[in-house]
Amino acid sequence: MPAMAMQLEGLRKIVQEVDAAPSLHEALEVMVRLVAAAMEAEVCSVYLLDEREQRFILMASKGLNATAVGEVSLAKSEGLVGLVGQREEIINLDDASSHPRFRYLPETGEERYNAFLGVPIMYRRKVMGVMVVQHHERRAFSEAAESFLVTLCAQLSGAIAHAHAIGTIDVFRKPSSTPSPKSFNGIPGAGGIAIGRAVVFYPPADLDLVPDRQAENINEELSHLQQAVIAVRNDIRELDEKMQDALVSDERALFGVYLRMLDDNALPAEISAEIRNGSWAQGAVRHVIEAHSVHFAQMEDEYLRERASDLRDLGRRILSRLQANDTHHREINEQSILIGEEITTAALVELPLDNIAAIVTTEGAVNSHMVIVARALGIPTVVGVTELPVTSLDDAELIVDAHQGRVYVHPVRRLRQRYREIQREEQQAAKDLKAYETRDATTPDGYSIPLYVNTGLMIDVIRGVQRNAQGVGLYRSEIPFMLRDRFPGEEEQRLIYRQQLSHFADKPVVMRTLDIGADKDLPYFSIKEDNSALGWRGIRFTLDHPEIFSAQIRAMLKASIGLNNLHILLPMVTSLSEVEEALYLLERSLAEVQEEEQVKILAPRVGVMVEVPSILMQMEDIASCVDFFSVGSNDLTQYLLAVDRNNPRVASLYNHFHPAVLRTMNWLVGQCKRLGKPISICGEMAGDPLSAVLLMAMGFNALSMSSSNILKVRKAICNIPMADAQKLLDEILPMDNPAVIRSWVERYFSKHQLQDLLRPASPKPSN
């Protein structure tokens, strides 16, 4: 086995080459060839599990008979390969044929090999396949060989899953000209179902995200390219001239390299060839630059490796010139399904929202800011669909089942029909819910709890009023900040806040001070941090910028004149001193505004968000200086469970039915009762009917939620007696498993004809 440094270098090379392979078959070919060489093994083979047939298929081999590839297969529990898959463990034998599970496959010619090392290829806890190395000598593989193969399989499993996903054909079956149906799993963000066509959302000048698209007019695309190349050449010449005095000619050599790459016979010729093959110009630039940069990145020579970044820079320059003249950015027509890697709140709200039937992203998680906004807008959203081959899906037909977090690409007719039926059922259920628009949230045994709305956009206010919200429990003041290209001024803010306050004139409106940082990025004030959830956010930012904080408070106070319904809420508080500083700034602003406006302004009630677990240990201290508490269960869940709310890899661990979360909520209510302070909750947990009834039973004073959830929560409350809710709570609090807790509550809902408040069951896909 090669030395450690060699192993690492070998691993890096293999992973890179596999990543660069254009198809799964080629990736596997490369893999077996390189692994056999790196491990000095006589045989290296990859078997992939065909889920439909429940068989391991020999997909690639270096060393076994080439004719066996694609032909030989083993039942899921057959042979040593089956054993590796079954046990999900390494098997390392010096004499494979003497093992009771050995199964001789004459087509492969493997009788010549004695030693066998098999490693499962696992992806997201599932066995995708098995990699096997073999050699003739009757000697087990070393421990170093084992760990080399394990590391490699762990690194390659994602690439295999991805290659599997982007292939337009089913890798196990014969190619066909019609695109085959596929489905992908993600995380349900905002519930609902949509059937429509994909529109790829790609940020400007981002090479990686340019979608594949057919050229509508090849000559036009060629001429766009030519103009873009001429423009970039001019840019480079200008740069070169500008730098004449600052850089010596050696240092400016790069510009010469760029110009040579832009020679008609160099990159432009290759891009033109792609266009002539049918691609649009932007896609052709992406393909050519990707192919070259992979090649450069694999070079042994470090200098040449670094040229990959120059090439990408050049590609970006051509792309941005093409995009500047882009007349056919696909329009967002009715029933468009927006798909992309990541879509920010600011980018989303600029789009024609009425036409967006659904949103699907490969990044992100259930309580990211964009999802919260999408939920308020009632747009079905699935996030964290990590395997979705975004760039190859432009204009593809999709079904988005945002209840289950599933996306179907090129769905079969029967599935489409079934989903159309479900859509009709949902429309009917929405009509039935309308009956709850005018009712109060009062249980059959007479217990009432106020339901508030969470706002940010004006549409939330309108829907909140329409659905009879008893006030605003959380106004996310950062949202209007996100929709501008600079910090809004005091008067600009006053007008925005006045709208919010006056629509709920006789009801409480809880305005949260600016809560930016982490995933709430302002387009004009980006905070880039390695660990942003633990970084400069919420009150930590505003106390460092008292000029921004005070302007906001002054605007809120001025907006409340004559209405007197303003409550102020402080986000991301960790320590008492932060509250004291904020109160000091608030008092100062109040005095100033009264003086300036010559009116008496009622001091707003002030509350603290319970989002950081440190607050749990300081309830008494903080209660002594504020009027109320509001639980931000989105962040509190993330910090209690140490699970990033935006990371799709750990999304399954982020769960508000976790006993630690439920018991904390219950404990908090007890504390607030003892301290005589009201406590409400404004995280997404309050808008889930299943958890909302538990929160009511705990004794929360109010629940605040997205307008899209108000009617469902109200229906649950109107149909569940408080006595039953309390019994349910007593039953689930001692339970230790989030999934069991959830299904326990679901069972109650089903038994009491409230199934329509649960996510509908997914139809059995027939693809």
**Which residues have a catalytic role annotated?**
369, 682
Sites for ligand PEP among residues 328-367 (CB under 6 A): 367
Q: Is 500 in the site for ligand PEP (CB under 6 A)?
A: no
Stretch that binds ligand PEP, among 34-42, 260-268, 614-622, 629-637 (CB under 6 A): 629-637
List Cβ neighbours of 641 (8 Å cut-off, separation of 6 or more): 653, 654, 655, 658, 660, 661
What's 300's DSSP letter? S
In the list 57, 357, 407, 682, the residue contacting ligand PEP (rule: CB under 6 A) is: 682
Q: Which is nearer to ligand PEP, 135 or 656 (CB)?
A: 656
- The listed partner (ligand PEP, Mg ion, none) that binds 682, CB under 5 to 8 Å by sort, is ligand PEP
Rounded to 5 degrees, what are φ and ψ at 113? -110, 135
- The listed partner (Mg ion, ligand PEP, none) that binds 519, CB under 5 to 8 Å by sort, is none
Q: Is 85 in the site for ligand PEP (CB under 6 A)?
A: no
Min. distance of Cβ 228 from ligand PEP in angstroms? 41
Structure tokens, 324: 């500047």
In the list 118, 364, 683, 738, the residue contacting ligand PEP (rule: CB under 6 A) is: 683
Nearest to 569 by CA among 610, 520, 536: 610
Block residue for tokens 């750990």: 650
Q: Which is nearer to Mg ion, 191 or 632 (CB)?
A: 632
Stretch that binds Mg ion, among 25-33, 104-112, 388-396, 603-611 (CB under 5 A): 603-611
Min. distance of Cβ 553 from Mg ion in angstroms? 19
Q: Quote the CA–CA distance of 31 and 60 in Å, as a whole number.
A: 9
Q: Is 687 in the site for ligand PEP (CB under 6 A)?
A: no
Min. distance of Cβ 635 from Mg ion in angstroms? 4
The burial class, CB within 10 Å (0-12 / 13-18 / 19+), for 469 is buried
Q: Which is nearer to Mg ion, 443 or 542 (CB)?
A: 542
Q: Which contiguous run of DSSP H or E holds residue 185?
A: strand 182-185
List Cβ neighbours of 272 (8 Å cut-off, separation of 6 or more): 222, 225, 284
Q: Which is nearer to ligand PEP, 113 or 475 (CB)?
A: 475
- The listed partner (Mg ion, ligand PEP, none) that binds 476, CB under 5 to 8 Å by sort, is ligand PEP
In the list 62, 164, 476, 742, the residue contacting ligand PEP (rule: CB under 6 A) is: 476
Q: Which is nearer to Mg ion, 364 or 632 (CB)?
A: 632
Contact 288, 272 (CB under 8 A): no
Block residue for tokens 């509908």: 760
Residue 379 backbone zone (phi > 0: left; psi -120 to 50: alpha; other: beta):
beta
Contact 522, 516 (CB under 8 A): yes
To 10 degrees, the CA torsion angle through 399, 402, 405, 408?
0
Structure tokens, 656: 């508000």
Min. distance of Cβ 512 from Mg ion in angstroms? 9
In the list 474, 553, 593, 757, the residue contacting ligand PEP (rule: CB under 6 A) is: 474
Q: Which is nearer to ligand PEP, 520 or 558 (CB)?
A: 520
Please count the other Cβ atoms lying within 10 Å of the Cβ belonging to residue 230. 13
List Cβ neighbours of 188 (8 Å cut-off, separation of 6 or more): 366, 381, 382, 402, 403, 404, 405, 759
Sites for Mg ion among residues 605-644 (CB under 5 A): 611, 632, 635
Min. distance of Cβ 515 from Mg ion in angstroms? 6
In the list 45, 92, 470, 634, the residue contacting ligand PEP (rule: CB under 6 A) is: 634
Q: Which is nearer to ligand PEP, 184 or 654 (CB)?
A: 654
Q: Is 186 in the site for ligand PEP (CB under 6 A)?
A: no
Helix or strand or coil: residue 700? coil
Spacing of C-alpha 65 from chain mean position: 43
Edge-first strand listing for the sheet containing 381-383:
182-185, 406-409, 397-401, 193-200, 336-340, 356-361, 381-383, 187-190
The burial class, CB within 10 Å (0-12 / 13-18 / 19+), for 86 is middle
Stretch that binds ligand PEP, among 146-154, 316-324, 633-641, 743-751 (CB under 6 A): 633-641
- The listed partner (Mg ion, ligand PEP, none) that binds 664, CB under 5 to 8 Å by sort, is none
Q: Which is nearer to Mg ion, 110 or 611 (CB)?
A: 611
Compute the radius of gyration of the chain from its Cα atoms. 30
Sites for ligand PEP among residues 502-521 (CB under 6 A): 515
List Cβ neighbours of 306 (8 Å cut-off, separation of 6 or more): none
Sites for ligand PEP among residues 371-430 (CB under 6 A): 372
Min. distance of Cβ 759 from ligand PEP in angstroms? 21
Q: Which is nearer to Mg ion, 601 or 631 (CB)?
A: 631
Q: Quote the CA–CA distance of 36 and 473 in Å, as a whole number.
A: 62
To 10 degrees, the CA torsion angle through 336, 337, 341, 345?
80
Min. distance of Cβ 471 from ligand PEP in angstroms? 15
Question: Under rule CB under 5 A, how many of the chain's residues touch Mg ion?
Answer: 3
Contact 60, 32 (CB under 8 A): yes
Q: Is 632 in the site for ligand PEP (CB under 6 A)?
A: yes
Min. distance of Cβ 635 from ligand PEP in angstroms? 3
Question: Under rule CB under 6 A, how many of the chain's residues touch ligand PEP?
Answer: 12
Q: Quote the CA–CA distance of 256 and 243 in Å, as a whole number.
A: 13
Min. distance of Cβ 25 from Mg ion in angstroms? 46
Q: Which is nearer to ligand PEP, 182 or 476 (CB)?
A: 476
Q: Is 519 in the site for Mg ion (CB under 5 A)?
A: no
In the list 611, 712, 729, 741, the residue contacting ligand PEP (rule: CB under 6 A) is: 611
In the list 521, 578, 635, 688, the residue contacting ligand PEP (rule: CB under 6 A) is: 635
Helix or strand or coil: residue 192? coil
Min. distance of Cβ 634 from ligand PEP in angstroms? 3
Stretch that binds ligand PEP, among 280-288, 374-382, 440-448, 627-635 (CB under 6 A): 627-635
Q: Which is nearer to ligand PEP, 367 or 386 (CB)?
A: 367
List Cβ neighbours of 543 (8 Å cut-off, separation of 6 or more): 549, 578, 581, 582
Stretch that binds ligand PEP, among 3-11, 185-193, 524-532, 630-638 (CB under 6 A): 630-638
Block residue for tokens 């070919």: 29
Please count the other Cβ atoms lying within 10 Å of the Cβ belonging to residue 137. 10
- The listed partner (Mg ion, ligand PEP, none) that binds 120, CB under 5 to 8 Å by sort, is none
Instruction: Tell me the residue type at 515.
Output: D
Q: Which is nearer to ligand PEP, 212 or 460 (CB)?
A: 460
Stretch that binds ligand PEP, among 284-292, 321-329, 583-591, 626-634 (CB under 6 A): 626-634
Torsion sign across C-alpha atoms 610, 611, 613, 618: negative
Q: Is 469 in the site for ligand PEP (CB under 6 A)?
A: no
Residues in the chain: 767
SS (H, E, C) 39-102: CCCCEEEEEEEECCCCEEEEEEEECCCHHHCCCCEEECCCHHHHHHHHHCCCEEECCHHHCCCC
Q: Which is nearer to Mg ion, 119 or 631 (CB)?
A: 631
Kindly list the residues in this chain that would bind ligand PEP in the complex (CB under 6 A).
367, 372, 474, 476, 515, 611, 632-635, 682-683
Kindly list the residues in this chain that would bind Mg ion in the complex (CB under 5 A).
611, 632, 635
